[in-house]
């Protein structure tokens, strides 16, 4: 028995064979699937799916990549959605600096010819100013959604990319008021322990099966058995042997199997531990 703790079932990738996707998950021993909202509309779709399918639960929130385009009030609609007992956490929320304006400008530099050094410098300055506004908006949204989670007594699903220090800085201010899971964890063992010491969890995806995923495998092999969960982040990050194709909840089993191999234990042990952790974290009895 496994719990797929991070899927995006509301994405169009699953429209044509949704029932088959859930059937394959059940056949693989994945008894519950948590579908994650990335925007207000995505969160609404997640709740609708959770209402329709008894083995699907919803997490609602706004992904940091969409912080700059969210309406002024995101809390009111999310609070209303959270009244639904099928909602088991707030997420995915956090910080993402992977595509800051300065980063995108640097990419453009490789395909553009700048005629003068001064114009390039001005562009860099402008990008840095935009970076500051971008980061500020993300931080503001992150804190608003953490406040909502605290008010509702729900845990949070955290997205962090290239923003480690700032993410932990914000979370430290909340202490033990809220617990989170760092989904799609790809950091070092020291970082995993830092997260765990703060009272949070980590979660591993199909990256553990990748040839270049040794660091993630090593971390998954060493963190305490009761401090991590498994996921796919589908439709992304399909594990071997499906890499390059659409990932789906059934592949959670492949993630768990790889972690079991890395730890030298049985699949049943990983399944039992991660399911118990997921049940305690998400408190499915709400639904």
The answer to whether 114 and 120 have CB atoms below 8 angstroms apart is yes
Domains of the chain: 2-286 (3.20.20.140)
Q: Residue 115: its pLDDT value, please?
A: 46
Q: Residue 116: its pLDDT value, please?
A: 44
Q: Strand, coil or helix: what is 270?
A: helix
Q: Residue 35: its pLDDT value, please?
A: 98
Averaged over successive runs of 10 residues, the pLDDT of the chain (287 residues) comes to 98 98 98 98 98 98 93 95 97 94 61 48 64 92 98 98 97 96 98 98 98 97 98 98 97 98 98 98 81
Q: Residue 99: its pLDDT value, please?
A: 83
Rounded Cα distance, 37 and 91, in Å? 7
Task: Give the residue ranges of DSSP H helices in the chain.
Answer: 18-27, 40-52, 75-82, 101-109, 117-152, 164-174, 189-197, 214-222, 252-263, 267-282
Q: Residue 287: its pLDDT value, please?
A: 54
Rounded Cα distance, 193 and 213, in Å? 19
Residue 245 half-sphere exposure, CB side, CA atoms within 13 Å?
A: 6
């Amino acid at each position: 028995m496994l719990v797929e703790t991070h899927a995006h079932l509301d994405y169009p990738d699953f429209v044509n064979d949704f029932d088959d996707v859930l059937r394959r998950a059940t056949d693989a021993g994945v008894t519950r699937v948590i579908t994650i909202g990335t925007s207000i509309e995505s969160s609404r779709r997640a709740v609708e799916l959770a209402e329709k399918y008894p083995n699907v639960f919803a997490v609602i929130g706004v992904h940091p990549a969409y912080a700059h385009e969210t309406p002024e009030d995101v809390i009111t609609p999310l609070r209303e959605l959270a009244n639904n007992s099928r909602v088991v956490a707030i997420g995915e929320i956090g910080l993402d600096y992977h595509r800051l304006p300065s980063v995108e400008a640097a990419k453009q530099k490789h395909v553009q010819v700048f005629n003068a050094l001064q114009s390039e410098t001005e562009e860099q300055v402008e990008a840095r100013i935009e970076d500051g506004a971008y980061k500020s908006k993300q931080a503001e949204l992150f804190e608003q959604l953490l406040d909502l989670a605290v008010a509702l007594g729900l845990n949070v699903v955290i997205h962090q990319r290239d923003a480690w220090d700032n993410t932990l800085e914000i979370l430290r201010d909340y202490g033990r008021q809220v617990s989170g899971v760092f989904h799609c964890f790809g950091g070092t063992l020291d970082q995993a322990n830092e997260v765990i010491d703060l009272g949070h969890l980590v979660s591993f995806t199909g990256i553990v099966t990748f040839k270049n995923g040794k660091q993630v495998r090593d971390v998954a092999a060493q963190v305490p058995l009761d401090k991590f969960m498994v996921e796919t982040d589908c439709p992304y990050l399909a594990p071997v042997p499906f890499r390059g194709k659409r990932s789906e909840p059934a592949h959670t089993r492949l993630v768990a199997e790889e972690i079991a191999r890395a730890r030298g234990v049985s699949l049943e042990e990983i399944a039992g531990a991660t399911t118990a952790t997921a049940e305690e974290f998400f408190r499915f009895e709400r639904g």
